[in-house]
């Protein structure tokens, strides 16, 4: 299985635990007031929000280095989204020198708090042997933790691990089960995999109609692979 780290997403959502006045100002586009309120919070959520605004350039010039400082303050005080963002920044080398070991350290801190995106990324690092020793069993462990929280990409990778017997005993039925979870969330990649399994009777009872149904759902989202399978199956 190919483990891809190319698409990296920051957590840039402001809300929940920070000042209502700050959030209100932010939503109105009054970034100067929002920054003032968030800075006055004096807690990890406020620090995280300031980091987001510096990273996005809202009310201030965009400055990844300044964002790192605020994210680090929040992360050092246990804020999981800030810890996750620190991992991404070290992985990309943005605002800091690229350091995959440090990325893995921050992902682990967030992952241990149950942060699904961090669990998934830590699993990828174990699968690829980047920043940590390669360990497919440990990759499965972290993919599963994220997958049971409904994180579709982790469900797909976990399905792939079961399909190939990588880090876990091969079980095509279990692979199909995880692919189905992601497919039912609308993930076109998983819909294609599940369609193929129904078309071949691989891990599930062979069912041409179900295969076509899953390929159609993926094709409706623009999947070229699904469209090609539909041409072959008819």
Mean pLDDT by 10 residues, the chain (234 residues): 52 58 87 90 89 91 94 96 95 94 97 96 96 97 98 96 96 97 97 96 96 96 94 84
Structure tokens belonging to residue 167? 């880090």
Q: How many CB atoms lie within 10 A of CB 153?
A: 22
**Tell me, what's the pLDDT at 21?**
83
Tokens 């994210």, located at residue: 71
Tokens 């579709």, located at residue: 152
Which residues have a Cβ under 8 Å from the Cβ of 36 and sit 6 or more positions away?
A: 22
pTM, entire model: 0.91
**Tell me, what's the pLDDT at 24?**
86
Pairwise CA distance, residues 112 & 81, whole Å = 12
């Amino acid at each position: 299985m190919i483990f891809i780290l190319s698409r990296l997403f920051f957590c840039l959502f402001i809300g929940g635990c920070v000042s209502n006045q700050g959030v209100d100002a932010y939503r109105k586009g009054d970034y100067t007031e929002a920054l003032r309120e968030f800075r006055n919070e004096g807690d990890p959520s406020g620090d995280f929000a300031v980091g987001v605004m510096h990273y996005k350039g809202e009310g201030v010039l965009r400055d990844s280095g300044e964002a790192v400082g605020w994210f680090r303050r929040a992360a050092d005080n246990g804020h999981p989204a800030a810890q996750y963002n620190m991992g991404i920044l070290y992985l990309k080398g943005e605002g800091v020198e690229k350091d995959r070991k440090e990325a893995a350290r921050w992902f682990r801190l967030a992952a241990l708090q149950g942060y699904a995106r961090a669990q998934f990324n830590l699993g990828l690092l174990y699968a690829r042997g980047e920043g940590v020793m390669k360990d497919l069993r440990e990759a499965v462990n972290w993919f599963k933790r994220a997958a049971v929280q409904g994180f579709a990409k982790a469900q797909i990778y976990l399905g792939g691990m079961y399909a190939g017997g990588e880090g876990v005993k091969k079980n095509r039925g279990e692979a199909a089960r995880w692919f189905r979870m992601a497919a039912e969330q609308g993930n076109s990649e998983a819909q294609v995999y599940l369609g193929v399994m129904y078309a071949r009777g691989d891990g599930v009872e062979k069912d041409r109609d179900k295969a076509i149904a899953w390929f159609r759902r993926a094709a409706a989202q623009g999947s070229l692979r699904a469209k090609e399978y539909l041409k072959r199956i008819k």
